[in-house]
Amino acid sequence: MYLVSKTSLDQFLAWACGSYRVFVPVNRNGALHFTRYEPGAPIAADLGVCRASESARDFFFPPRKRVALGLGGDDAESSEKPVCLVGVKACDVHGLAVLDAAFLGQAPHEPLYARERARGLIIASDCTAPRETCFCTAIGEHPHAWVDFDLNLTPVPRGYVAVSASEKGDRLIAEHPEWFALAADEDIVARETLRSRIERQVRAQCAAAGVPDRAALDGVMDGAYDSGFWRDLASACVECGACNTVCPTCHCFLLHDTLDAGENARFRTWDACLLKDFARCAGGGNPRAKLWMRLRNRFDKKFSYFPETAGIIACTGCGRCVTACPARIDIRSVLRKMVDHGRRDQSIPAVIGPGA
> pLDDT band at residue 76, thresholds of 50, 70 and 90?
very low
Average of pLDDT values for 128-133?
94
Tell me what the pLDDT averaged over the chain comes to: 91
pLDDT at 236 (0 to 100):
94
Alpha carbons within 13 A on the beta-carbon side of 204: 8
Q: Do residues 100 and 47 make contact, with C-beta atoms less than 8 angstroms apart?
A: no
Burial 70-101 (b: 16+ CB within 10 A, else e): eeeeebeeeeeebbbbbbbbbbbbbbbbbbbb
pLDDT at 89 (0 to 100):
97
Q: How many Å separate Cα 269 from the centre of its chain?
A: 18
For the full predicted model, state whether its pTM sits above 0.95.
Answer: no
Q: Name the strand (E) or helix (H) holding 174.
A: helix 167-175
Distance CA 158, CA 194 (A): 14
Burial 30-45 (b: 16+ CB within 10 A, else e): eebebbebeeeeeeeb
Average of pLDDT values for 10-18?
95
pLDDT at 343 (0 to 100):
74
Nearest alpha-carbon partner for 96 in 346, 324, 316: 316
pLDDT at 352 over 60: no
The residue ranking higher by pLDDT, 351 or 293, is 293
Helix, strand, or coil here: 139?
Answer: helix
Q: Is 157 buried (19+), middle (13-18) or exposed (0-12) by CB count in 10 A?
A: exposed
pLDDT at 342 over 80: no
pLDDT at 202 (0 to 100):
97
- List, for residues 307-321, the tens digit of each pLDDT value: 999 999 999 999 999
DSSP conformational letter for 304: I
Q: Do residues 269 and 70 make contact, with C-beta atoms less than 8 angstroms apart?
A: no
Helix, strand, or coil here: 258?
Answer: strand
Query: Which of these ranges, 6-10, 75-79, 104-108, 166-170, has the smallest mean pLDDT?
Result: 75-79
> pLDDT band at residue 354, thresholds of 50, 70 and 90?
very low
Sign of CA dihedral 66, 68, 70, 76: positive
Whole-angstrom CA distances from 243 to 93, 182, 201, 240 are 19, 43, 25, 8
Whole-angstrom CA distances from 345 to 72, 151, 289, 340 are 52, 45, 24, 8
pLDDT at 268 (0 to 100):
93
Distance CA 61, CA 58 (A): 5
pLDDT at 48 (0 to 100):
86
pLDDT at 75 (0 to 100):
58
Q: How many Å separate Cα 102 from the centre of its chain?
A: 13
DSSP conformational letter for 35: E
The residue ranking higher by pLDDT, 276 or 43, is 276
Helix, strand, or coil here: 351?
Answer: coil
CA dihedral 280, 281, 287, 293 (to 10 degrees): -20
pLDDT at 72 (0 to 100):
63
pLDDT at 78 (0 to 100):
60
Q: Is 231 buried (19+), middle (13-18) or exposed (0-12) by CB count in 10 A?
A: middle
Identify residue 163 by its one-letter amino acid code. Answer: V
> Per-residue DSSP letters for 207-246?
HHHT---HHHHTTHHHHHTT-THHHHHHTT-----HHHHH
- List, for residues 234-280, the tens digit of each pLDDT value: 999 999 999 999 999 999 999 999 988 788 899 999 999 999 999 88
The residue ranking higher by pLDDT, 40 or 339, is 339
